[in-house]
Every structure is written in C-alpha cells, then in structure tokens.
C-alpha cells in the first residue's frame, strides 16, 4: 500500500514539474512604442512566435525557461522566466543597435595655385597609360576558340541556371542574398539551427519558395517592410527545409 501511494505521489509530482504554462507579455521600444514582428524564442523547446501589431505575444513555457527576443536593428535580449512571469505579463523594451559611421576621406580642395593643383589633380603619366591599356584590353572581344572545348573534353550542358535578374535591374539574386545575410547577421540563421555553411543555400531556398522581390531587384533597395516579409517567409519555410529531402 505504501509503495502504491509513493508511486501516485511521484507521478503527480512529475506532472507538476513538466506541466507547460503560457508566458505572455508585450514588447516595446525605449520610447514605449509597441513593436510588431519581434521573434520570441523559447531556447529550451525551440518554439517561436511573432508579436502582433500591438507588440503582444504568448508562448508556452515554464519557470526556468529562457526566452530570446530578436528584431532586426535592435539588440537581442534573453530573459529568464520566473514564477512571477507565469501569472503576470513579461514586458520587455528592446534597445536599438548602435550604428557605426563609416570613415570619411577628406580630400584636398583647390588652392588656386596652378602648380600645386595640377600635381594633386593630374594622375602621373604612367598611371594614365596603364589605365588606357587596361580599358583597351577589356574592350577587345575574346577569340571564341580560346574557350572552345578540346577534343574529348567534357562540356557542361547548358541550362536555365541561377536567376540573376534582368540587365536593367540594379540588383540580382546574389546581391539580394548578400544584403539579407549582412543585415540579419549569421547569428540570426544560427539561432534557427541553420549551419553557417548552409546559410546562403537556405536563403536561396526561401527565395525559391515564391518570395516576391521584383521591385527590390529593380531598384536595388530593400526596405524594413521587405526585411520583415522575408523573416516571415523564413518562419514558414524553415520546417520544410529541415524535413528529409524526399518530403520537400
């Protein structure tokens, strides 16, 4: 009888320990402005949710879990879930990242002295000649026989290849992928359990899923709204990317 009672008490205790609660709260800026599209991650369960237009979120968890708050352009914050957070809102204020100002080169202006200005503005004759020779070489057409395959040499079949946009576009897909990786940072993808060597491949996988980017490539400009749209597409495509190849 004692063993049976001990088993029941242990079972109830284990249920209490592993029971999942819900943590809810609100994300704001330092100026107390509601922040939508902030990614909230439970580090233990890897569950991810995004704040709504009012900055509110709700995610399952329990006391002791660690939540991470990620937003492009803001410092990421980790918060430990306490007993008080289970029954009351967890409010977090994100701090904007510090932007480093690029170094500006100060060039010498005109002095009015012809001898001095001619030395600072006119390139040396050797440099001028080298520039002309390079321009002339680039303008020449290559002999097609140079790139032609030799007898018995394997020739790669021609296909559609990788889309790089139209000639009139300011960007191609490679430019856009590099911009996304630089803006979001490698750590953003590592948090999604994407290996560093596969980040470029994953970005292309998301774009290939139908991500609309014609205007972005045309003007060579990605707005904050476009960046948020890409992050939402990432959350949609991440599950299928992790699935076995036969299920994609």
Q: Judge contact between 79 and 66, C-beta under 8 A.
A: yes
Q: Which residue(s) pair with 93 in the sheet?
A: 28
Domains and CATH numbers, the chain: 7-94 (2.60.40.10), 173-247 (no CATH)
106, two tokens: 């100060």
| Per-residue confidence (pLDDT) for residue 129, from 0 to 100 | 76
pLDDT tens digits along 157-208 = 554 545 554 457 899 999 999 999 999 999 999 999 999 999 999 999 999 9
pTM of the predicted structure, to 2 decimals? 0.37
How far, in Å, CA of 79 to CA of 70, rounded?
12
- How big is the CA angle at 203 (ends 201 and 206), to the nearest 5 degrees? 110
Provide, rounded to the nearest whole percent, the portion of the chain with pLDDT above 90.
Answer: 49
Asked if residue 227 has pLDDT above 90, the reply is: yes
Query: Could you tell me the end-to-end alpha-carbon distance of the chain, in angstroms, rounded to an integer?
Result: 54
List phi, psi (to 5°) of 53: -65, -20
Q: Where are the beta strands (DSSP E) in 15-172?
A: 21-29, 39-42, 48-50, 56-61, 66-70, 77-80, 90-94
pLDDT tens digits along 65-80 = 999 999 999 999 999 9
pLDDT tens digits along 70-129 = 999 999 999 999 888 887 888 999 999 876 555 555 566 666 565 566 555 556 676 677
CB 25: neighbour CB atoms within 10 A? 20
How far, in Å, CA of 172 to CA of 189, rounded?
22
> Would you list the DSSP string of 48-78?
EEE--TTSEEEEEE-TT-EEEEE-TTB--EE
| Per-residue confidence (pLDDT) for residue 11, from 0 to 100 | 45
Q: What is the DSSP letter of 88?
A: S
CA torsion through residues 110, 111, 112, 115, sign: negative
243, two tokens: 């699935």
Asked if residue 45 has pLDDT above 70, the reply is: yes
Confidence of residue 16 (pLDDT cuts 50, 70, 90): very low
Helix axes 224-242 and 199-208, enclosed angle (nearest 10): 100
How far, in Å, CA of 93 to CA of 79, rounded?
11
């Amino acid at each position: 009888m004692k063993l049976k009672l001990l088993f029941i008490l242990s079972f109830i205790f284990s249920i209490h320990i592993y029971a999942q609660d819900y943590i809810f709260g609100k994300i704001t800026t330092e100026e107390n402005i509601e922040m939508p599209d902030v990614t909230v991650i439970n580090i233990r369960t890897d569950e991810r949710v995004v704040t709504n237009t009012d900055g509110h979120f709700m995610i399952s968890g329990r006391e002791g879990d660690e939540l991470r708050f990620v937003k492009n352009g803001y410092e990421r914050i980790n918060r430990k879930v306490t007993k008080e957070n289970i029954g009351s809102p967890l409010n977090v204020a994100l701090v904007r990242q510090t932007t480093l100002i690029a170094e500006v080169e100060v060039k010498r202006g005109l002095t009015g002295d012809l001898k001095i200005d001619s030395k600072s503005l006119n390139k040396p004759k050797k440099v001028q000649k080298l520039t002309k020779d390079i321009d002339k070489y680039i303008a020449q057409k290559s002999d097609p026989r140079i790139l032609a395959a030799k007898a018995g040499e394997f020739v790669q079949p021609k296909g559609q290849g990788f889309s790089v946009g139209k000639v009139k576009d300011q960007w191609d897909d490679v430019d856009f992928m590099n911009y996304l990786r630089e803006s979001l940072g490698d750590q953003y993808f590592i948090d999604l359990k994407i290996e560093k060597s596969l980040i470029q491949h994953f970005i292309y996988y998301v774009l290939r899923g139908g991500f609309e980017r014609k205007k972005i490539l045309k003007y060579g400009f990605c707005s904050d709204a476009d960046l948020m749209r890409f992050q939402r597409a990432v959350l949609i495509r991440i599950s299928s990317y992790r699935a076995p190849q036969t299920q994609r």
